[in-house]
Structure 1
Amino acid sequence: MEFKLEDIEETFNGEIINKISNNEYLIKIQDKEHHLQILNINSRGMEFLLDNHFHSVNYIENQTAEMKIVVDGVPLTVNMHTKLDEIVYRNTGGADTGSTQINLRSQIPGKVVSIEVKVGDKVKNGDVVCVLESMKMQVSVKSHKDGEVKNLKIKEGDSVNKNDILAEIE
């Protein structure tokens, strides 16, 4: 996944290479491998060891793809992925304008924060159908085609898994 720090032109790439145990991971940041052990995580922040060095993160504000945090006392704004909305849109079928697929599926696990349509509404390719919250980020899930909302499979507050059907659009 791509990360960008505010006021720094460089983009950093990070990924989980291997899950060692429930709270331990082998990760790669900028082509260098690191050992990550999560000590504590909650809605306000987290504590972790990165290559046996202790770090503390406090969450300040979370938006769709941007997170304001304080890491070891230093305030940062992190763009979680400069193309996150585009990727979610494409993976829900948005790049395929001639889609015959009826089901709009979730590409991420999360909680349904809001539903922007109701059964019977006409939608266009790219219209926001619902907003999911995952890992403190809110992601708009967009219609994968023009059509009419025939069925909603979700309610506000529901938890969804990756690939769950959110709506049927014909």
Structure 2
Amino acid sequence: MKNFTFNINENSYSVRIVSEEDNTINLEVNGTSYAVKMKEELKTVKTPTLVRRPSKAAPEPVKIKNPSSSSGSIKITAPIPGIILSLNVKVGDTVNSGDLLLVLEAMKMENNITSDKSGVVSAINVSVGQQVLQSEVMIELE
């Protein structure tokens, strides 16, 4: 069954457990057989089972559109796949070039997504906790 090597007082002992039955262990030490009667009942150890909670599904994104939005809008897309950690603007906000729009977590790093141009937020196509793919439109500006 199992083989062990022990060094006691500079003496080497090769121990092989042959069998376990009725609280008795049959083993060989350096080729000599022994039957060892245990004082206490042998308990078998169960391998723990990993239990995982089901993951929470990301909430469906709330698509908020400003009725005055035009087709000539500026689209802010995801540079890499990730999860939206925070939204720093809302529909109707005026943003300048370089303003922080949202924070995107990708590969355990927080990425600040900023505006390339000035404009007014006309649509927010993502929500906090949502997973986005690369090139997915997250925010639209007029």
User: Is the radius of gyration larger for structure 1 or structure 2?
Assistant: 2
Question: Is the helix fraction higher in 1 or 2?
Answer: 1
Higher relative contact order (CA 8 A, sep 6+): 2
Question: Is the strand fraction higher in 1 or 2?
Answer: 1
